[in-house]
Structure 1
């Protein structure tokens, strides 16, 4: 049986989050397949997805003492280094881009690159951020690189100049289980849904300006923000200046509540200037929610004809597409049907199977 070692990095960083969910699914799926043993290279984590997936991590859940400790990363790092030095595995798949292991790693290395946001959008990040250089070092050392979209593969080649033959596109997938729904208190009747971070390249303020245009005609419409943390001062001041603060609501939703938000939304809008994939697109498709996307980055590749698109530099373009969608029931129905069809392309089982085959190719 092939043994694949995963390290601690992303599980130290994220209690929730897309990258940790991806790796938790790979670990669970690999173990369930029966031909791969996934080795946990860490002692402690409170990651939600590892617990949710019923992986044998009960011994890893943090005690009250450990949750307060500032040394968890160090403890996990030391433990993973011991596993690396013993070498009782065939493939190493780190979960983020710290290069701590490079000097001692003697086994095949697989990395997953989810996006090239830092490289494509440097104006939104600090100049001294070590991530781009760490990513470059690992990409050059890696035996195989998983890119989660053709767009990401193209951007990896563009910025990191690595051999295209070692980059394998394995898109994200979503499970085919029926969604679970949890009620959300005081849910507005008519709302546009925005999901996740509102930071610079996510283009939230542009969406908010388009929303303001729509409120002139649709007085009862609400801008609903799921996740991304409470409104920061800058967010609130912007919304107040534009007269839409009272029409905006932020919710920290559970997964089941998020499903409910998608299900009841007029539409889901993803105005980001750059993404490596865009899991919320699949979440919207699964919950019969029509989708409007910026016409850049990976979005046309992922959603195809199952979404409406707008020019991310044009507020009027977005406002027009939202107006078109929310007033055209036939179009809405068509997009929902196309979204359901698209989900057949992006299954979690397919993602896991292709990843396992990649591991096996390094050992055969």
Structure 2
């Protein structure tokens, strides 16, 4: 059985949950030289962190050069014109065209049994013929929070088209499956399979990375976009922060604080109480390990990989009771109503005020984590492939 993947997500992401998912699938399929499944990833250019040294890649990927990483150590007048000249003479190539052409070439050869595109573009439909394809749906955020994605109508049309035409659809949680059925109709329910994700964070490799972290802090991980509920979380714990001058909030990832966020912190009188770090997995594991708690107040998740990361690193979890999160967290956490400030504040006070509770949550987290692994994800995905070919 041979599976063909494509370039889409490895062109779009340097880091990210979706590219990590496909990398881990291929890593598991490649492990041990197994003979029951083979795969190909036609990719010429990528800056993706996970696959850059992957032993299963048949082609050495060239680095993608765009303006943001063109002569990164120097800013000077005329840099944009120099970049345009580099494009004109071919030093900076149209990597999107190169990657897509390679994917189309592989699809046209028909030397595969199943195609598994890594995102929602429909570019391949005119070339795939009678070969089946599997689509993974990660969440329904664009449908449920359209205000955060203006101009997304075309994207949603493509996504629905792909769901309609796929031989099977993989949803990464029961919650995501329910949302697909609710939003797009029950006619798709029978072809949707739920396959949970795994954890990639190796807590044994935790390292400071030179960071000087506060003695006492709550950890917030990832994007701070509106549905992630960061601002409301901060508003909910203002009184706790003001009562305890030593307590800080550390944000991992999500980009540097915006001017709006910094002004918001200052308006609360808490300007020096927030830190933000962009970091690798080893340093992220260190932040989890040292935190009093990881607070995940998101209004919606398709799965919630940070939940598993916190379990792996031995970090007490405070998490929203919405969408997929109860499926992943089980009873190894303190739940909050993410729309209720008193619920958030009460949970934070409860956890930071009890070392015994934190120890209990850590122990439960280790047990809950055993239910999830990339090997389980890969095995269940392989069974779906096999069922299609029967």
Interval of TM-score (by shorter of Structure 1 and Structure 2): over 0.9
Q: Which moved more, 1:224-233 or 1:116-125?
A: 116-125
Shift of 1:132: 1.4
Deviates more, 1:103-112 or 1:140-149: 103-112
In 2, distance between residues paired with 1:258 and 1:129?
35
Alignment of 1:55-70 (within 5 A): 55-56=56-57, 59-62=60-63, 69=92
Equivalent residues, number: 363
1:219 deviates by 1.3
Structure 1 stretches of 4+ with a deviation exceeding 6 A read 63-67
2:74 is matched with which residue? none
For residue 147 of structure 2, what is the aligned residue in structure 1? 123
CA distance in 2, matches of 1:128, 1:65: 24
User: Post-superposition shift, 1:53?
Assistant: 4.3
1:140 pairs with 2:153: no
- 1:44/1:76 contact within 8 Å kept: yes
2:78 equivalent in structure 1: none
* C-alpha deviation, 1:58, in angstroms: 6.2
Q: Does 1:301 align with 2:327?
A: yes
Unaligned runs of 5+ in 1: none
Determine the structure 1 residue equivalent to 2:134. 110
1:143 is displaced (CA, Å) by: 0.4
Is the 2:137–2:170 Cα contact (8 Å) retained in structure 1? Answer: yes
Deviation at 1:255, TM superposition (A): 0.5
Cα RMSD (Å) = 1.8
The alpha carbon displacement at 1:216 in A equals 2.2
Q: Which residue of 1 aligns with 2:207?
A: 182
Q: Structure 1 CA distance, aligned partners of 2:6 and 2:25?
A: 13
CA-CA distance at 1:190 after TM superposition: 0.3
Name 1:7's counterpart in structure 2. Answer: 6
Deviations 1:63-92 (A, max 9, x none): 769976351111100111111111111100
Secondary structure (helix, strand or coil) at the match of 2:50 reads helix
Equivalent in the alignment of 1:71: 94
Shift of 1:210: 2.2
Secondary structure of the residue aligned to 1:213 is helix
Alignment of 1:264-343 (within 5 A): 264-343=290-369
Answer with 78-87 or 236-245: which moved more. 236-245
Helix, strand or coil at the partner of 1:216: helix
Equivalent in the alignment of 1:19: 18
2:241 equivalent in structure 1: 215
Aligned equivalent of 2:253: 227
CA distance in 1, matches of 2:93, 2:261: 31
- Using the TM superposition, name which of 67-76 and 314-323 deviates more: 67-76
What is the Cα deviation at residue 104 of structure 1? Answer: 2.0
TM-score by length of 1: 0.95
1:40 alignment counterpart = 41
* Alpha-carbon distance, 1:176 to partner: 8.8
Distance 1:175 1:203, change over 3 A: closer
Residues 309/178 of structure 1: CA separation in 2 closer, same or farther (3 Å cut): closer
What stretches of structure 2 of length at least 5 have no aligned partner? 71-91
SS in 1 for 2:51: helix
Q: CA deviation at 1:175?
A: 5.1
